[in-house]
Structure 1
Amino acid sequence: MFSLDWIYYAISWILLAWHAAWDAIGVPDGAVLGTNWAWILAIIFLVVTVRVILFPVFVKQIKSQRAMQALQPQVKALQEKHKGDRETLQKEMMELYRKEKANPLMGCLPMFLQIPVFLGLFHVLRRLDPAKVNKTLYGWTVEQFESASAAKLFTAPIAGKFGSTADELARLGANGTTVKVMAGILVLVMMGTTYLTSRQMILKTGWAEDPQQRMIQRLMLYGIPLSLLVSGAIFPIGVIIYWVTNNLFTLGQQQWVLRKYPPPPSMTAKAGTAGRSTAQPAKTVGLLGRKKPEPVPPKPAAPKVAGPKPGAKPVNPKKGGPAKRRG
């Protein structure tokens, strides 16, 4: 059977290394304002460590989303061409993605790669129970285990959760109301920051034309934050701290990357500009779509008729008239 112990050892090693680093520079390990800051900072910098490792993957995610966005006009054309033939449409789209080296799944890859870290931290913090017999599992010493199991955030143990039973709270020496209030606030912050990270990306890149991609975007924007309202009850407070920190890190990282790699101009705007450069200029259109009348050129002025010279007989303007008799 596949074992996840290597993940638990890796997470434990990073946590313990950061805790030792903060302890070495003088961050108090004892409770200040009801908080053991060395352990809280160890969790926060676990996020920093993971995100630095995954940063190249995150940049590839942004570039892949740009490529997918540039392909949207071609995807839309395929959808119109193969309307009603889903199987052929999927084959054509996969061929298009392969040809243009675009991967629709790359957008979710950083999140998928962080799932093992989240599960590893979840498992490690769940075993911070003073009643455990084996306190040296995954490379912990007894002293480190007891220090972490007593660590708190504003008097709420980092191993406690909103759904902790009375027996679990008693073993942790925690107040049930305090744990529920702190966990509840953190769950709401976790939901809000999760929503904002998805919203930030969608506002910058726009909604996808492909129905499947649009469905994934809606799931990321609404589905995952709402699911946290239920699942957050079983997350230890330390795990929620990790999630909130990860979301805040994502917001800052996305803002930086989106400035460095701004979204390209819309393909529609490009097409419109290209069409106007080669086509004849369109006639001006007035209100309600009516064409404005073209200006009528002025009639040429009638040439002036010169008057008779002095001493000359006047010319009769009437043509064909009878000649005047002489008296």
Structure 2
Amino acid sequence: MSLDWIYYAISWILLRWHALWDAIGIPDGRVLGTNWAWVLSIFFLVVTLRVILFPVFVKQIKSQRAMQALQPKVKALQEKHKGDRETLQKEMMELYRTEKANPLMGCLPMVLQIPVFLGLFHVLKHLDPHLPEQYKTIYGWSLDQFSSASAARLFNAPISAKFGSTPAELAALGANGTTVKILAAILILLMMTTTFLTSRQMILKTGWAEDPQQKMIQRLMLYGIPFSLLISGSLFPIGVVIYWVTNNLFTLAQQQWVLRKFPPPQMAGKGGATSARPANATASDLKSTNPVQPGRSGGLFGRKKDAEEPVIPVVDTKALAPKPGAKPVNPKKGARPANKPKG
């Protein structure tokens, strides 16, 4: 299957943003060794895509919370069908269908961004000034745009260079190998750190999954993916790493906003320790789940007055027991003992 449509789409967005910065007056010339018009174009490529994917992100949050609410039922099914994997899978799929929960929705935003990542990777890798002229004008680029982008740099490192660039590739770009490696290494570390923080932020706010498989996926997302970037990041052009870091920072801000505005159930109470109150909860339900301690005048769901419910005194049975050597006391004065013979 041809991915040309992705390359055309990524190129179109980049070129539209670059045209906007050019119209505003941001020059293509270097300031601090950086062609800011192209760097800003990559940055706002992220903004454009994240705005488009925002509804999907909201669905992802809702799906994660729905899956979290279903954990007790999932655990009950696992206990019920222990050893019968086929029946368990059928019952779980039926549960997801009935509750309208989709376990795959949590990965959908990341899956949708993979083609974008691959498209940007290909387009930036394609910015080789030694390409034949007919290949420079594909994907909607003009010769001037191609020449400007292929010469674009971030702090004197070409955005199409990478940590693992060969000496021949660096020579073709007119780049200094040490500068490229230092800048690429810093960006790769930022990419790893921000990737870890995005996963950690969500787990800290929503909690670890009780299902072992989902918990394993959470651990993979938290530790596995950032560690894998240590190796794979050396193959990414600097422009792609800029895109990844920007995307992570945008995700951190977006998640923080959504989690503050729509807190998950365990954050609904003060201090984040209580669960959310059901919308259809009755007064008796609230009493059972939120009992008022003696001496208090209520709480979040408590009663207004303690006097409305009588307090049963605690009886000390040890105090009522007869002391050693004490004379027995009849419960009723003048009562005849049951075992006394008749005279």
Normalised by the length of structure 1, the TM-score is 0.83
Offset of residue 15 of structure 1: 0.3
Offset of residue 269 of structure 1: 5.6
Q: Counterparts of 2:239 and 2:118 in 1: how far apart (Å)?
A: 12
Offset of residue 6 of structure 1: 0.4
Offset of residue 280 of structure 1: 11
Against the structure 1 CA distance between its residues 81 and 176, is the aligned structure 2 distance closer, same or farther, given a 3 Å change threshold?
same
Against the structure 1 CA distance between its residues 165 and 280, is the aligned structure 2 distance closer, same or farther, given a 3 Å change threshold?
closer
Offset of residue 270 of structure 1: 7.4
Q: Counterparts of 1:199 and 1:298 in 2: how far apart (Å)?
A: 57
Against the structure 1 CA distance between its residues 99 and 169, is the aligned structure 2 distance closer, same or farther, given a 3 Å change threshold?
same
Corresponding residue for residue 228 of structure 1: 229
Corresponding residue for residue 87 of structure 2: 88
Corresponding residue for residue 166 of structure 1: 167
Corresponding residue for residue 277 of structure 1: 288
Q: Counterparts of 1:158 and 1:119 in 2: how far apart (Å)?
A: 16
Offset of residue 295 of structure 1: 2.9
Q: Counterparts of 1:253 and 1:121 in 2: how far apart (Å)?
A: 22
Corresponding residue for residue 27 of structure 1: 26
- Paired amino acid for 1:295: D
1:55-70 aligned at under 5 Å gives the runs 55-70=54-69
Q: Counterparts of 2:130 and 2:89 in 1: how far apart (Å)?
A: 55
Against the structure 1 CA distance between its residues 278 and 126, is the aligned structure 2 distance closer, same or farther, given a 3 Å change threshold?
closer
Offset of residue 261 of structure 1: 1.6
Against the structure 1 CA distance between its residues 31 and 67, is the aligned structure 2 distance closer, same or farther, given a 3 Å change threshold?
same
Corresponding residue for residue 7 of structure 2: 8
Matched, 1:217 2:238: no
Deviation string 1:76-128 (CA, Å, 9 cap, x unpaired) is 11111122222221111111001100000000000000000000000000010
Q: Counterparts of 1:91 and 1:15 in 2: how far apart (Å)?
A: 46
Q: Counterparts of 1:54 and 1:281 in 2: how far apart (Å)?
A: 46
Contact 2:11 2:139 in 1 (8 A): yes
Offset of residue 294 of structure 1: 3.8
Q: Counterparts of 2:14 and 2:176 in 1: how far apart (Å)?
A: 26
Q: Superposition RMSD on alpha carbons, in Å?
A: 2.6
Against the structure 1 CA distance between its residues 298 and 36, is the aligned structure 2 distance closer, same or farther, given a 3 Å change threshold?
same
1:21-170 aligned at under 5 Å gives the runs 21-133=20-132, 134-170=135-171
The 3-state SS of whatever aligns with 1:188 is helix
The 3-state SS of whatever aligns with 2:16 is helix
Offset of residue 44 of structure 1: 0.1
- Paired amino acid for 2:238: I
Against the structure 1 CA distance between its residues 275 and 168, is the aligned structure 2 distance closer, same or farther, given a 3 Å change threshold?
same
The 3-state SS of whatever aligns with 1:265 is helix
Corresponding residue for residue 331 of structure 2: none
Deviation string 1:156-186 (CA, Å, 9 cap, x unpaired) is 0000000000000001000000000000110
From 306, 316, 322, the counterpart of 1:295: 316
- Paired amino acid for 2:91: E
The 3-state SS of whatever aligns with 2:288 is helix
Deviation string 1:192-232 (CA, Å, 9 cap, x unpaired) is 00000000001111111112211111111111101100100
Offset of residue 259 of structure 1: 1.5
Contact 2:265 2:275 in 1 (8 A): no
Question: Which has the larger displacement, 208-217 or 198-207?
Answer: 208-217
Deviation string 1:45-68 (CA, Å, 9 cap, x unpaired) is 000000000000000000111111
Unaligned runs of 5+ in 1: 283-292, 300-327
- Paired amino acid for 2:288: S
Corresponding residue for residue 178 of structure 2: 177
Runs of 4+ in 1 over 6 A off after TM superposition: 278-282
Offset of residue 265 of structure 1: 3.4
Identical counterparts, % of pairs: 77
Corresponding residue for residue 256 of structure 1: 257
Corresponding residue for residue 311 of structure 1: none
Corresponding residue for residue 246 of structure 1: 247
Matched, 1:198 2:167: no
Query: How many positions carry a matched residue from both structures?
Result: 289
Q: Per chain length, whose mean CA-contact separation is higher, i.e. which structure has more relative contact order (CA < 8 Å, sep 6+)?
A: 1
